[in-house]
Amino acid sequence: MHKCSMWLLLAWLAASLACQSAPKSNPAHPPDPRLAGSFRRPMNNGWIYVHLQGSAADLGFQHGYWLAPEINRMLSDFKATWPRNSHKSWHFYRQAVRTMWLPHIEPQYMRELSGIADGLHARGYTQWDTIDVIILNGFEELPDYYVPWYNRQHHLQQVAALRAPGNCSAFIACGAYTRDHKIVMGHNAWTSYYPGENWNIVFDLAPRHGYHILMDGFPGVITSDDDFGVNSAGIMITETTITQFFGWNPNGIPEFVRSRKALQYANSIDSYIAILLKGNNGGYANDWLIGDRKTNEIARLELGLKYHRVWKMKSGMLVGSNYPSDPRVMKYECPGFNPNLLSSSPNARRVRWHQLMRTEKGKINIRVAEAMESDHYDTYLHKANHPDARTLCGHGDLAAHGVPAWGWGPYHPGGTVQAKVTDSTLAAKMEFYAAMGHPCGINFNAATFLKAHPQYAWEKPYLTDMPSHPWTLFQAAR
């Protein structure tokens, strides 16, 4: 082959490979200077990885730009489905944001939220504005915490069944419980498959102010929100929701702001807790599991609205299964919760966690953590390998009993949608493993499910297949 022809062929091949590996969502030419240093990688085992860096406004613009198709889809879906589920219009939520939240979102996060809207506009999605983006960021708080409180304040009964969710199975361990005596942390996110199957973003955030963050997350949301993340100051966090919680402070700071600020600025367990407590609005009430790899200390913060409690230790294992542990939180802020109903998912999974605390003590490492987050032992039926809504890896779609405590009927399409694990060694390198879909290996096929359970036919436009992907290592950009 002629040397010139050979070089032309090589150049063509290089250009072809570059086109194949480049993100599909990269239409800017010439590139906007606000995108400098940021990027989106091609999907990896179900995950979308984005690196965002710079000022608050730049972080937001990059977020909105790189994830514009996914953000547009979630906003469109929520605008269609929330009125059906909550009997409240999109206008109702816009008014709530304007009158209740705008005065309580500090400027740096307003700039980031507005930046997301700007990024959407740059991609042609001009129908959404900053208020819509804030609604999206409140998707855990507004329908499930604010609306029940609003209904009670206005003596409305039409949505009496609305209740705060109680999802996720998580743990954090150290000392005598782990193989190397350092911290190991794991979490699987429980939610309805729609919208939870869209919880597939790995955010690598390098803000101008604060610490570098690696976390999982949802398109358009500035905090992890399920939550799982590490920062460059050595803080490791996750949480599980407190089930059947009721409480709201309309004059508080949104939870999505406080949780993001805590991961961005905390360099100790105490500073993380202090940021969460300041301006607590009761939204998305959680049991927070927090580790500091610098001190090898772990903690659990049970954060209600009126009450909270902290447990700390340098050797032990703290778990979450949506079970309120503080008697005051249980009695006064979780109406209807029955700790003695062993058939209920939170109670059954709590029993399983305590079994594993005994059997896995001294053995816990990354591989054991992955196995525990994939566990299928039903403690109520005393059956192993029985995936349902009572197992740590949850499968509501296989459960005839449903989860009455959350309003999930028989065979509700919900359960574990993804899982993550990390330890002190990985966190020091800003790394974690994540598995999209059920970490146990069971796939979910939407068409097959809807054919068998036509009562959920309304979800057909939104529910998609959720294949199980392998555990995959993610790391912050160097």
Q: Are 98 and 249 in contact (CB under 8 A)?
A: no
User: In terms of domains, do 385 and 431 share one?
Assistant: yes
Give the Å distances, CA to CA, from 369 to 86, 237, 399.
Answer: 37, 15, 24
User: In terms of domains, do 195 and 343 share one?
Assistant: yes
Residue 23 lies inside a defined structural domain of this protein: no
Q: Stretch 425-438: mean pLDDT, rounded?
A: 98
Q: Are 239 and 283 in contact (CB under 8 A)?
A: no
Q: Would you give the DSSP letter of residue 42?
A: P
Residue 20 lies inside a defined structural domain of this protein: no
Give the Å distances, CA to CA, from 263 to 190, 215, 224, 292, 416.
Answer: 21, 9, 9, 12, 24
Task: Kindly report, residue by residue over 318-329, the tens digit of the pLDDT.
Answer: 999 999 999 999
Q: Which residue among 153, 183, 213 closes a domain?
A: 153
User: In terms of domains, do 303 and 418 share one?
Assistant: yes
Whether the bond between 148 and the residue before it is cis, its omega within 30 degrees of 0, is no
User: In terms of domains, do 402 and 293 share one?
Assistant: yes
User: In terms of domains, do 279 and 335 share one?
Assistant: yes
Q: Which residue among 153, 188, 222 closes a domain?
A: 153
Task: Kindly report, residue by residue over 112-169, the tens digit of the pLDDT.
Answer: 999 999 999 999 999 999 999 999 999 999 999 999 999 999 988 765 455 677 789 9
How many independent structural domains does the chain possess? 2
Q: Stretch 199-223: mean pLDDT, rounded?
A: 98
pLDDT at 166: 72
Residue 51 lies inside a defined structural domain of this protein: yes
Residues ≥6 apart with Cβ < 8 Å to 370: 186, 419, 421, 433, 435, 439, 471
Pairing of strands 201-207, 48-54: parallel
Pairing of strands 414-423, 184-192: antiparallel
User: In terms of domains, do 299 and 349 share one?
Assistant: yes
User: In terms of domains, do 233 and 336 share one?
Assistant: yes
User: In terms of domains, do 97 and 182 share one?
Assistant: no
- In this structure, what token pair is assigned to residue 291? 């580790």
- The phi and psi torsions of 289 (rounded to 5 degrees) equal -110, 120
Residues ≥6 apart with Cβ < 8 Å to 265: 210, 211, 271, 275
Q: Could you write out the DSSP letters of every residue in 302-314?
A: EE-SS-EEEEEES
Q: Which residue among 153, 184, 205 closes a domain?
A: 153
pLDDT at 352: 98
CATH number at 465 reads 3.60.60.20
pLDDT at 162: 55
Identify the band that residue 11 occupies on the pLDDT scale cut at 50, 70 and 90. very low
Residue 470 lies inside a defined structural domain of this protein: yes
Pinpoint the alpha helices (H) of 55-200: 56-66, 68-86, 90-96, 107-122, 130-137, 147-153, 193-196
- In this structure, what token pair is assigned to residue 347? 């109670």
pLDDT at 158: 60
Task: Kindly report, residue by residue over 50-103, the tens digit of the pLDDT.
Answer: 999 999 999 999 999 999 999 999 999 999 999 998 999 999 999 999 999 999
User: In terms of domains, do 234 and 263 share one?
Assistant: yes
Residue 2, pLDDT > 60, answer no
pLDDT at 161: 52
Pinpoint the alpha helices (H) of 197-317: 255-265, 269-277
User: In terms of domains, do 234 and 335 share one?
Assistant: yes
Q: What is the mean pLDDT of the chain?
A: 92
Q: Stretch 369-373: mean pLDDT, rounded?
A: 98
User: In terms of domains, do 280 and 321 share one?
Assistant: yes
CATH number at 113 reads 1.10.439.10
Lowest mean pLDDT among 14-28, 219-233, 353-367: 14-28
At 291, is the secondary structure helix, strand, or coil? Answer: strand
User: In terms of domains, do 126 and 225 share one?
Assistant: no
Residue 21, pLDDT > 70, answer no
Q: At what angle do helices 56-66 and 107-122 cross, to 10 degrees?
A: 30
At 435, is the secondary structure helix, strand, or coil? Answer: strand
Per the structure, the complete domain to which residue 187 belongs is given by 169-475
